[in-house]
Amino acid sequence: MNLKHINSVYFIGIGGIGMSALARYFVAKGLKVGGYDKTKTDITDALEDLGILIHFEDNLEAISDVFLDKENTLIVYTPAIPKDHTELNYFMSNGFEVLKRSTVLGDITKQTFCMAVAGTHGKTTTTSILGHLLSACDIKVTAFLGGISENYNSNLILNGTDVTVVEADEFDRSFLTLSPDYACITSMDADHLDIYGDASALVKSFEDFSKKMKPNGKLFVKNGLPIKGITYGIEDDSDYSVQNIKIVNGSYVFDVKTPNALLKDFKFSLPGRHNLSNALIALAMTVEYGIPKPQLAKALASYNGVKRRFTYQIKSENLVFIDDYAHHPEEINAVHHAIREMYPDKKVLAIFQPHLFSRTKDFGDEFAKSLSQFDEVLLLDIYPARELPIEGITSDWLLNKIDNTHKKVIQKSELVQYIKTSSAPIILTIGAGDIGEEVKHIKKALSIAS
């Protein structure tokens, strides 16, 4: 990819969280940017506010002429786009430079000091903490985030180009296009089995990623994972470890044991030990980079989180409404643990939208076990994303596995009214599909009711 000869970039699937961050990046570089997506969302609205030309039908006639010059236009697509997509096939068949998002990201990072965050869970939060620490400590950093940062109201932090922070996505083995200076692996739980087939193939992919480090690179690994590196963990004997944890006014206060010292009195406001682990690895990478502890402590205390990652929509004495992106059983377990830690003995109503028929099928028993922990469970229909239905795999099928007498499959049109009648003081929405679009309606209804 030679950006010197490119005047415009066209994205197929521009509304995706990773794609939209790249789109913002190219706008900031002064290039003309446009794209297609099948659905209008808050993300596409924000991109259009930047002057990006977007349409929502797979139609060649809808593409502006500025993106039809193959000598000066780069086409970027996501693997989630179906192979029979008209626009994608046109560009591939007519001599355009057509690249996957991961390849473009890999090219951008090659000329910088790259910090990559890998793992089946925790990538987005860890990446956003890492990007924020670097930016707040005046490091010249560009960070591509897999979610909307509350601090920056964006999925792109653009504060210079010395360091690039990226999510190393295991889906479609995309992370193998990267060659990071620093990388971490947060988790390796089975996922994306529609791509990998079985858990061993997923593990092999992470092993391959661990070998992509630049010479003299540093790999950080969650303690207990079967890959060698600098270890990190909570209250254990890792190279980097959180110690002396206290909860003060709803925030964690803790120390960090490093290989060389004990760094005292960090403050972090995101609930849940999983988020504390995410903060630790971001701290470990920035300590190794050479940022002094006083700067890091101040930066971490100012971190506000990522939208749809344990995001408080309502937080009052009598009612709490939390929204989270959790879409894997282990992520749901982590959210449950965080809620019970912060709100012991309070009734929790959880609304879950399963994401992908294949993931629901592969982890049906695990989803049932994780969801059964809540006091009451509502299931929306499965969000298909890139998939066609699988016979017999429905939300009713999953509901029957849940060991909880207070459970129900519900339609989106019924959701707000049902929640308004609930006696639960803790309302939780979880899932990676379009359940996020329902959050504003739920919040409005609950705010009026209270």
Q: Provide the token pair at 369.
A: 């076990």
Domain range annotation of the chain: 3-100, 110-301, 311-449
Burial of 421 (0-12, 13-18, 19+ CB in 10 A): exposed
Distances (CA, A) of 335 to 328, 330, 340, 447: 11, 9, 9, 23
Distances (CA, A) of 429 to 57, 143, 231, 304: 30, 27, 33, 19
> In what helix (H) or strand (E) does residue 379 lie, and over which residues does it extend?
strand 376-379
Best CA proximity match to 23, nearest among 192, 169, 144:
144
Residue 204 to residue 184: CA distance in whole angstroms: 16
Q: What pairing do the DSSP bridges indicate for beta strands 141-149 and 154-158?
A: antiparallel
Q: What architecture is the 311-449 domain classified under in CATH?
A: Alpha-Beta Complex (3.90)
Phi, psi of 347 (to 5 degrees): -70, 135
Residue 165 to residue 147: CA distance in whole angstroms: 13
Q: Which residue reads 């509502």 in tokens? A: 378
For residue 447, the model assigns a pLDDT of 86
Share of the chain above pLDDT 90, in %: 74
Question: Which parts of the chain sit beneath pLDDT 50?
Answer: 192-193
Q: What CATH class is the domain 110-301?
A: alpha beta
For residue 176, the model assigns a pLDDT of 85
Distances (CA, A) of 373 to 76, 346, 399, 404: 42, 13, 13, 8
End-to-end CA distance of the chain: 54
Phi, psi of 79 (to 5 degrees): -60, -15
CATH number, span 3-100: 3.40.50.720
Q: Check if 110-301 and 311-449 are the same fold.
A: no
Q: Provide the token pair at 305.
A: 């989180």
| Contact present, 120 and 199 (Cβ < 8 Å) | no
